[in-house]
Amino acid sequence: MRATDALGRRGEDLAAAHLNDMGLVILERNYRSRAGEIDIIARDGDVLVICEVKTRSTDHFGHPLAAVDHRKLRRMRRVAMDWVTERGVRPARVQFDVIGILDAATGNPTLEHLRGVD
């Protein structure tokens, strides 16, 4: 596994644990459709939470949250529609979240969670 893949996996694991700690139920990780991939799909009561996770070892090239722009959000919406259609679910509401993690391999990563990103 490449170092960047391992960093990304570690970030997704931290994000999933964070969401679990908040009381969300993880429904699926790394869902892929023709439109792209969603890192984490979770349920918060009757709300379907679509979560993108960005992990960086440094902020030399910008904060991880800055990597999610309007094009990425549009893609997340298309993939979420694929998931909902494929699974035959009808959530009361869909929420798009972004989790940014800075992990300098110091053993003390920082996590920032933006909820309800439009």
pLDDT at residue 27 greater than cutoff 70: yes
pLDDT band at 107 (very low <50, low <70, confident <90, very high): confident
Number of domains in the chain: 1
Burial 63-97 (b: 16+ CB within 10 A, else e): ebbeebeeebeeebeebbebbbeeeeeeeeeebbb
More confident residue, 58 or 29: 29
pLDDT of amino acid 1: 62
Tell me the per-residue pLDDT of 58-102, one tens digit each, with 9 for 90 and over.
877 888 888 899 999 999 999 999 999 999 999 999 999 999 999
d(C-alpha 118, C-alpha 105), whole Å? 31
pLDDT of amino acid 73: 94
**CA distances from residue 24 to 17, 81, 99 in whole angstroms, order as listed:** 10, 20, 14
Looking at residue 8, which CATH number applies to its domain?
A: 3.40.1350.10
d(C-alpha 19, C-alpha 33), whole Å? 23
Supply the range of the domain harboring residue 90.
3-114
| C-beta atoms surrounding 58 within 10 Å | 9
